[in-house]
Structure 1
Amino acid sequence: MAATRTRMRLGVTEAGRMLLMGTVFFGLAAQLVPAFGVLSALIVVLLTVLAVGFVLRPRIEVTAHLPDYVVAGQDAQFRYTLKNVARVPAYDLHVRFVGLPQTIEQVGGAQMVARLGPGESTEVAVTMRARRRGNHLIPLPMCQSSFPFNLLVFGSHRKDKGTLTVLPVFYQLQMRLARLSGQGRSGVAGFAGRAEVSPEYAGNRPFLPGDSPRRIDTRAWARLSVPATKEYHNDADRCAALVLDTRIRPDRKRTGDEEIPELEAAVSLCASIAFSIQRDCLVEWFLAGPELHDFTVSRGRPALGARAGRARQGARVEAIHEILATVAPAENYDLDRTAAALTSHFHRISEVVFILLRPDRAYLDLLGLAAASRCHCSVYRVAEADARSSESDALPGDSVTLLSPEDILTGRLGPL
């Protein structure tokens, strides 16, 4: 992201503020006592600083290299390339942000560059921290110079902004889905209790951490330039679906930028589950509130959106995390259409994971249909102790786990 239009800014440092106050003081004193010599010297210093600083004011072209995403609560490095497009050198440059979103903060002080000659470029890294998930507009930093004498600040600021995706907090959970295994079986009953067909080659998919090297599809690897794993028809028993309830109680309606702990905990738990089970299965369907996301269309294609400098994760896990970054709370919604679409795929799913905030008849019916289709259902109810009702006891899943938002957000969850 490069900027073109520059707006000059003039500021005063702490030393310059003291000098201005001294000039005003001596100016008032000169009305009573002949002290024009001192007053003239101070004025000459100010005029000299103003003239030299204006001539050598920084004209810096800033190019941003933002990461594709960061995780909420973690420090991240934002890299910027500074190029001096003026005909004179720039001295004592420091880089700082103006107009950052309230949920984004700069960690540490401003980055300093002692000298940048005409046409020269340098790269600076700024440590930033995002406190909340979502898509945020990040402005370009302001390049300021306090040369000479560190009295006045001359800076250039551009209005260009870049979009930063902040993912929810997630971590590795101690869990293993009951009906899924990292190794497939053939010629026997499937994990969901359905009779399997012969292990006939069905295609390939991106290689995921934990896949057996013996199942690497070398021809697909050579064709796609990325590792691929062979898939057989019996691999359908390694598919899972995630169901996230995003409805909140009416008394928990958000005002302004206030966060809802229950929703944030449910989103964090969903992201952690998707991250933790990727070694055991493929998440084919994700029902986030009223929206159903189908990832089966990407089967057989190379993973997209790999992040430089990070361990490569499955493309579907990345897609789930990006969806969770923008999940918004809702008071109510209709599940009839999306639930019917998901129900039609239950015959291909071994495990369905429910993360519920307000279990009602719609989710109970969906849970019942999943159980009737011989899918193993894991149910996690996220609520404060005083908000849990008898509805949790009526859930027909194979296992129901009650979790508090505080335990999820602070990472104090035990084995699930």
Structure 2
Amino acid sequence: MEFMYGAWRGTSTVKGSDGRYLGEDNASPAFYCEPIPTEYHICKFGDSRDGKQYNMTALHDMMKLWPEVMNLIDRFRNYYKSEFKISYKELTTVDLFVFSKLLVATTAYLIRSQKFDYENEHVPVELTSQTKLVAGVFMVGRKMIERGELFFNDIEPADANFLYEYADKHQVLISPRDKNFACAGSIRKIIELIDVTIRGWHSKSTAQAPEDLLKIVDETYKPAFEYGIKDLQMELTIKYAETVILEALLRADSGMISEKIKNPILEQVRSAFSCEFTDPKTLSDQKRNLLLVLNKLGSDPVEPRLGFEGNTPFRKFYLNYLEQIRSFAFSQQNEINALIDIPSLEKLSKEKVNKRINIIPRDVYRSFN
């Protein structure tokens, strides 16, 4: 599951104990989801969301648990600082991306390892609420990586106001599935959430999640973080491979790849990715950002053994690199499966890896073989 969908999408159709989907309106695949009574209001927050609809039911339920969920996020933040041996007080933008991804993965781990009876909707609402909130934080980090932002770094403390303004400017608060819907929550609450992930929770409120949930969290955060790191390593490896392949494609001349093959590939890229993925400068900066995160995780990227240079045909370069990614993903997925105690994969085809990378159309890929 993790290879094809990642921890977030793979568990977004699971329900919490409140009967609501983990992914709410963005739960995917949507055909798994039955209609849930939901009240929508029109946004009047004074930002890019104005005039769009937001999920008032989910927002109302979230606010009832706000102190408990903030305390839970702060608890995980302390775990994160301990595991990564962080002595500085305020987290960086690289930290926020990794930390928020690990929080999402923690909920996925508890579901995938069957710590909760998710088929009977017993995933505690505190966990699903936490996951819904921090998913927005990692989406901001993902946008910064994709756009090759140079202020995405592991040196300077992050700033909550700046990150909110960035999210607003770059449409991160708008639903990726339907542009008529947007993230719920006032500007003040969004900034407060981001600030808690950066600096911790300093409220006088002592409200906590139930003791039995905290006990599970304390006992499982280490394997959950290990699961999350492996899931993130795999996602970043795929993203890094995309940039390497696109760089090779953009500089390939007619002697390396025919226009008949190159044009449908570029068409696929333009339909599947944002425009940043066809700009060489942004691709280079994007690779820099991916390497920053991999370095944070203590990981190396999978570099192509067969360099794309001289008269190397693009087909030969791609198939060799694809096999490297397939081998890495196969091993990584089986390590994940071992962590959550499910059977190992017997195989992982290059065609499936090609589909996951999503650059070479299926008919073009089949012509390569």
TM-score bin, normalised by smaller chain: under 0.3
**The structure with more helix, counted as a fraction of residues:** 2
TM-score by length of 2: 0.23
**The structure with more strand, counted as a fraction of residues:** 1
TM-score by length of 1: 0.22
Higher RCO structure (Cα 8 Å, ≥6 apart):
2
Name which one, 1 or 2, has greater alpha-carbon Rg: 1
